[in-house]
Amino acid sequence: MSENETKDEKTTLDLSRPGRLELKKTVQSGQVRQSFSHGRSKTVQVEVKKRRTFTRGETGRMAEVKAQDVLIAPAPVVEAEADVEEGPVPATPTRTLTDQEKAARARAVEGARQAETEAQETARIEAERRAEEEEARRLSEAEEAKQRAAEEEEGRRAEEDKAKQAAAAPAPAPPKADPAAPERARAPAKKQVAEAAAAAEPGRGKKKGDARRLSIGRRGESPRRRAGKMTVVQALSDDERQRSLASMRRAREREKRAARAAAGPTEIGKVVREVVVPETITVEELANRMAVRGVEVVKLLMKLGTMATVNQLIDADTAELVVAEFGHKIKRISAADVEVGLTGPEDDPASMAPRAPVVTVMGHVDHGKTSLLDALRQTNVVAGEAGGITQHIGAYQVETGSGAVITFLDTPGHAAFTQMRSRGAAATDIVVLVVAADDGVMPQTVEAIQHAQAAEVPIIVAINKIDRPDANPERVRNELLQHNVVLEGVGGDVLSVEVSATEKTNLDKLVDTIMLQAELMELTANPDRPAEGVVIEAKRESGRGVVATVLVQRGTMRIGDIMVAGGEWGRVRAMMDSAGQKITEAGPSQPVEVQGLGDTPLAGDEMVVVADDTRAREVTEYRHDLMRDRRAVSGTRGTVEQMLAQIQEGAIKELSLVIKADVHGSLEAILANIEKYANDEVAPRVLLSGVGAINESDIALAATSKSLVIGFNVRADTPARQLSRRDGVDIRYYSVIYELLEELRGMLSGMLEPTLKENFIGYARIKQVFSITKVGKIAGCEVTEGVVRRGAKVRLLRDNVVIHDGALSTLKRHKDEVREVRQGLECGLALENYQDIKEDDVLEVYEIEEIARQIEA
């Protein structure tokens, strides 16, 4: 084949594509308006790119392949459901889906299912709401029909009554023409037309709230709520957006709350509680007791004009108002209710048993009270007392020859122990008044009589020291008459016995007299109950802790009992009787030493055994608070503040003291007597007082406040002594109370400003005045009366008028310095810092004498 033939057989070369070659627009732009919550919206620019793809067919011609549009927009890509359409298989080759595409399709399917579920739920809620509205409308129409029927029946009856009245009454005169009558006649017709129009139009005549409620969906339609993610078609559509499901739920909740509020508060099922309110209570605790929220109580208090938080305390009156506003009943209680029932019920007369008498020995100091008890007990207690006087209240039990038991309380006779004698008289059955036959009735004897009479207990007079040569029992009987104590010997009913403690004379007769008086009183107590009694004395001992002397008055105390004594409580760990023997239980009228209290109680406090430690804590906490409040109410705080202010101003001087004593009774006597020494100029200030040895903390406090440390029958331990030597703290020990009080009185008296007394000593007349260079004016004087003494005070008198009051600066006689110049002699003198002197002036010479002052006892 030739070359030309070959060329003819080949296809003609053509570089053009089939059809017309042109550049078409491949990008379409548009806008999408996105809506958000709270009425916000945003317009977004979107672009749709078209991709033109060509492929060669079987004939060799190029054909365009249609591809899916791709959306490129700044908003996040939103996957939409793709409608699956049946059609010819695309020309593009098939390929396997990737994992990402499979996951995307699965998410699309799940979103479609979720959207369908939400749409169904929305349709169900809408159906329920429509059913409720239909039911409400039906009930409303039925109610309105009943009301209209009742009104028509009432109108018919009224017309019948009116017709009957018209038939019975005479014919009335024709009425005057009323221009407004046609209009009034047409008014009911207009009203009926308006009601018919409202019935014809369902949306008309509704309230504003109903219109807003109906805007959720269009009546008569079945709207499909948007579910799942928004597609491009939904974004570009003009359909109105509907409220979300959560918004519809909130709207329904608001409707329900409005309906409940319109219906008013219901009383069905309301619980009325009895709210227990103490004297003060926190807002939160009050709300809890009423079973309401604390914020509701706070709101109510704000309405009442009280601004309070949930943790703030309110008083019982305010709490009562709050409880009444909430519709509950209040039960007010007092903090003192914790002591209700503490002592237990009254004893049954059938359970009473005889008990030993409690006898208190009282009298003046050194009249032989302790010696008399020593003679009865065959002991020698008086030998161990400091100064030979009793300074502690003691409790003993004495067994008589007949086997009877008597409990004796020995009280001090010194004037400082008034409170001890008062406690002894209050806790006793019989008072034995000891009067010395040689001294007679003394001040403390009278005081003991007054205590016994105040306690309304019988008195037995023991006239002691009848063995003395100057003893005069008849004098004692006569002196007692002046204080309403009439003995049997002079026609009275008070028993008396003449005894001698040293010679042990008539001691058995005294015991018989006591037992006779006790039999007449028929003393009984119930031993089968929790113990009750009184604290006679309390102290702190090394190795034993707090030791309290307790007199059991009724019941029985045992080891392990929980006892409350005043403001302290504890468990009984050990007990000892008056002879020092350990015991396990103590009955009525028995004095015992008890160990186990947390701290030293006050002498005279009541003791009671309680069931458990919880009750003990409640009682002691209340008593501590009560004592603190009493100190505040009594003005102690204000008095101390005023005293400190006066001290800073220099108007009052203070003596700071730290006092430690062996027992509480002695400490009480010391403090009571120190308070008597205070006046407007000086005052003792007790920074710390307590029972027990002096320790380091006491010394540290004294060093800080520059106080004096006083130890009464106690000593400082070794660390405290070393610390006192290092810091220079003065420690003073005493064993006799009147020595301590006298020394404190002397210290306070030394702090008083002395009394200034002016003593006139002489007169001098100025005869001539000399002026000396660098010295000043010198007065030549003649002593006319008394003495002129150097260093004395002088007043310058001119025509009997005082024009200067000062001192002499110099006194000379014949150019020599002298101490004094007597009457009739001449001298030269100069006044200190004063030059205005003239002839015939008179100098009055005097001295100031300082007289020490004493604090009255």
- DSSP for 425-464, please give it: HHT-SEEEEEEETTT-S-HHHHHHHHHHHHHT--EEEEEE
Q: For the chain, what percent of residues have pLDDT higher than 70? A: 73
Does 707 lie in the same domain as 559? no
Residue with tokens 């080891």: 559
Written as one letter, the residue type at 474 is: E
pTM over 0.85: no
Closest C-alpha among 702, 732, 741 to residue 714: 732
pLDDT at 272: 83
Given a contact cutoff of 8 angstroms between Cβ atoms, the answer to whether 791 and 807 are in contact is yes
Looking at the structure of the chain, the number of domains it has is: 6
Given a contact cutoff of 8 angstroms between Cβ atoms, the answer to whether 46 and 18 are in contact is no
Quickly state the pLDDT bin for 21 (edges 50, 70, 90). low
> Encoding tokens for residue 351?
């359970």
Residues across the chain: 857
Does 784 lie in the same domain as 764? yes
> Encoding tokens for residue 810?
């110099």
Quickly state the pLDDT bin for 681 (edges 50, 70, 90). confident
Q: Which of 306-310, 343-347, 448-452 has the lowest mean pLDDT?
A: 343-347
Does 498 lie in the same domain as 477? yes
Average of per-residue pLDDT values in the chain: 75
Please say which residue of 569, 595, 627 terminates a domain: 627
pLDDT at 696: 85
Q: 783: which DSSP letter?
A: E
Q: Is 764 exposed, middle or buried (0-12, 13-18, 19+ CB in 10 A)?
A: buried
CATH number of the structural domain spanning residue 447 = 3.40.50.300
The model's pLDDT over 763-773, given as tens digits with 9 standing for 90+, comes to 999 888 888 87
Closest C-alpha among 726, 697, 699 to residue 710: 699
pLDDT at 390: 47
Q: Which residues contact 61 (CB under 8 A, 6 or more apart)?
A: 18
- CA atoms of 795 and 792, how far apart (whole Å): 10
pLDDT at 91: 47
Closest C-alpha among 715, 730, 719, 668 to residue 697: 719
Residue 179 has pLDDT above 60, yes or no: no
Can you list the alpha helix ranges (DSSP code H) found in 634-758?
A: 636-649, 664-674, 696-705, 718-727, 737-750
Does 408 lie in the same domain as 388? yes
Does 500 lie in the same domain as 364? yes
Q: 547: which DSSP letter?
A: E
Given a contact cutoff of 8 angstroms between Cβ atoms, the answer to whether 287 and 262 are in contact is no
600 in any annotated domain: yes
Q: What value does the mean pLDDT take over residues 556-563?
A: 91
157 in any annotated domain: no
Residue 150 has pLDDT above 70, yes or no: yes
Please say which residue of 522, 551, 567 terminates a domain: 522
Given a contact cutoff of 8 angstroms between Cβ atoms, the answer to whether 370 and 379 are in contact is no
Does 646 lie in the same domain as 716? yes
350 in any annotated domain: no
Residue with tokens 């160990």: 595
- CA atoms of 667 and 671, how far apart (whole Å): 6
Q: What value does the mean pLDDT take over residues 213-235?
A: 50
Does 802 lie in the same domain as 742? no
719 in any annotated domain: yes
Q: Which residues contact 519 (CB under 8 A, 6 or more apart)?
A: none
The model's pLDDT over 460-508, given as tens digits with 9 standing for 90+, comes to 888 888 888 888 888 888 888 888 888 887 777 888 888 888 888 888 8
- CA atoms of 555 and 585, how far apart (whole Å): 10
What number of CA atoms fall less than 13 Å from residue 616's CA on the CB side?
18
Does 781 lie in the same domain as 839? yes
802 in any annotated domain: yes
pLDDT at 425: 59
Quickly state the pLDDT bin for 810 (edges 50, 70, 90). confident
CATH number of the structural domain spanning residue 544 = 2.40.30.10
pLDDT at 666: 80
Closest C-alpha among 208, 501, 532, 540 to residue 376: 501
pLDDT at 270: 66
The model's pLDDT over 605-621, given as tens digits with 9 standing for 90+, comes to 888 998 888 888 888 88
Quickly state the pLDDT bin for 559 (edges 50, 70, 90). very high
The model's pLDDT over 730-763, given as tens digits with 9 standing for 90+, comes to 888 888 777 888 888 888 877 777 778 888 889 9
49 in any annotated domain: no
Q: Which residues contact 396 (CB under 8 A, 6 or more apart)?
A: 373, 377, 407, 408, 410, 578, 591
> Encoding tokens for residue 265?
């508060």
Determine the structural domain holding residue 291 and report its residue range.
Answer: 274-333
Residue 833 has pLDDT above 60, yes or no: yes
Q: 263: which DSSP letter?
A: H
Q: Is 782 exposed, middle or buried (0-12, 13-18, 19+ CB in 10 A)?
A: middle
Residue 690 has pLDDT above 70, yes or no: yes
184 in any annotated domain: no
- CA atoms of 677 and 685, how far apart (whole Å): 11
Pair type for strands 62-65 and 53-56: antiparallel
Does 464 lie in the same domain as 367? yes
- CA atoms of 385 and 370, how far apart (whole Å): 10
Written as one letter, the residue type at 137 is: R
476 in any annotated domain: yes
- CA atoms of 342 and 117, how far apart (whole Å): 71
Q: Which residues contact 418 (CB under 8 A, 6 or more apart)?
A: 447, 669, 672
Pick 668 or 499 by higher pLDDT. Answer: 499
Does 687 lie in the same domain as 807? no
Given a contact cutoff of 8 angstroms between Cβ atoms, the answer to whether 703 and 673 are in contact is no
Residue 305 has pLDDT above 50, yes or no: yes
3-state secondary structure of 226: coil
- CA atoms of 265 and 273, how far apart (whole Å): 18
Q: What value does the mean pLDDT take over residues 712-733?
A: 87
Q: Which of 401-415, 456-470, 719-733, 834-848 has the lowest mean pLDDT?
A: 401-415
Q: What value does the mean pLDDT take over residues 642-656?
A: 60
Q: Which helix (H) or strand (E) holds 154?
A: helix 99-168
Does 603 lie in the same domain as 458? no
Please say which residue of 750, 768, 795 terminates a domain: 750
Residue 264 has pLDDT above 70, yes or no: no
> Encoding tokens for residue 111?
């979103």
Q: Is 111 exposed, middle or buried (0-12, 13-18, 19+ CB in 10 A)?
A: middle
First vs last C-alpha separation in the chain: 165
Given a contact cutoff of 8 angstroms between Cβ atoms, the answer to whether 301 and 326 are in contact is no
Q: Which residues contact 857 (CB under 8 A, 6 or more apart)?
A: 676, 745
Does 374 lie in the same domain as 511? yes
pLDDT at 209: 42
